[in-house]
């Protein structure tokens, strides 16, 4: 299959991807996975613990590379990228939200969001701060710009992390258990924010989750069992 032009076709295309950890006893984390993610689609990846969900997400997010197979993002064959090109592509095109926020503790919320903008270098420092401030305000964090992560609630920290993921206007947001450390109110808030990114901004969101309430708003759910796609898998009857 030939590569599509950037801006056309699915935002992510995966063809026969396998990831194996070599060693005395090789361990296969992801096995012969093929899938497509459309632009503006909210996809949840679900499965039992240790099934390869996060391993697949890391491959989609170019945080790991396949042992076999290819991944296209925005029509570009990422298997041809060297380490520098991968880093540049991640910074410009992809956003990440994890179960733990991974905010820099010594920096304010505003600095945490503006840092990736400054690193990309498309905007001046003043424009980067303005962009970061606007994102924080969009997520209800007015008055919290100068606070450090330790001064914020868990839900507020995760909203800062989402703002940071959006800092460079990425095509895709990849979220690994984004509500795993949150109470039900904060979880619903984060879920609704991620859902709104697909509907209002036409971003694609791929999220790994065990949370059936979170997954209930997805456009599509993909089951992963033993590193393979298993569309028959369900977290419990009726879901």
* pLDDT digit string, tens, across residues 15-25: 999 999 988 89
Model confidence band, residue 183 (pLDDT cutoffs 50, 70, 90): confident
List Cβ neighbours of 125 (8 Å cut-off, separation of 6 or more).
Answer: 118
Buried-state track 53-89, b at ≥16 Cβ within 10 A, e below 16: bbbbbbbbbbebebbebbbbbbbbebeebeeeeeeeb
pTM: 0.89
Per-residue model confidence (pLDDT) at position 4 = 41
Sequence-ordered list of residues with C-beta below 8 angstroms from that of 194, at least 6 positions apart, any chain: 42, 97, 162, 173, 175, 178, 205, 207
Instruction: Give residue limits of the domains in the chain.
Output: 12-229
The matching CATH number, chosen from 1.20.140.10, 1.20.1260.10, 3.30.70.100, 3.40.50.300, for 12-229 is 3.40.50.300
pLDDT at 5: 47
| Dist. CA 57–CA 155, nearest whole Å | 23
Residue 75 has pLDDT above 90, yes or no: yes
Residue 8 has pLDDT above 90, yes or no: no
């Amino acid at each position: 299959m030939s590569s599509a032009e950037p801006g056309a076709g699915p935002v992510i295309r995966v063809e026969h991807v396998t990831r194996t950890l070599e060693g005395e006893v090789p361990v296969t984390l992801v096995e012969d996975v093929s899938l497509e993610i459309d632009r503006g689609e909210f996809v949840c990846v679900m499965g039992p613990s240790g099934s390869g969900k996060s391993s697949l997400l890391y491959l989609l997010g170019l945080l790991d590379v396949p042992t076999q197979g290819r991944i296209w993002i925005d029509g570009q064959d990422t298997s041809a990228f060297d380490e520098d090109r991968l880093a540049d592509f991640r910074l410009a095109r992809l956003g990440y939200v994890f179960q733990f926020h991974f905010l820099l503790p010594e920096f304010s919320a505003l600095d945490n969001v503006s840092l990736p903008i400054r690193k990309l270098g498309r905007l001046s420092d003043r424009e980067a701060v303005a962009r970061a401030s606007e994102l924080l305000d969009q997520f209800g964090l007015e008055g919290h710009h100068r606070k450090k992560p330790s001064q914020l609630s868990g839900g507020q920290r995760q909203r800062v992390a989402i703002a940071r993921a959006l800092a460079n206007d990425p095509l895709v947001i990849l979220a690994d258990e984004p509500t795993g450390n949150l109470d039900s109110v904060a979880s619903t808030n984060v879920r609704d924010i991620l859902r709104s990114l697909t509907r209002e901004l036409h971003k694609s969101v791929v999220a790994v989750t065990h949370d059936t309430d979170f997954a209930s708003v997805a456009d599509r759910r993909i089951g992963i069992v033993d590193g393979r796609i298993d569309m028959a898998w369900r977290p419990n009857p009726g879901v």
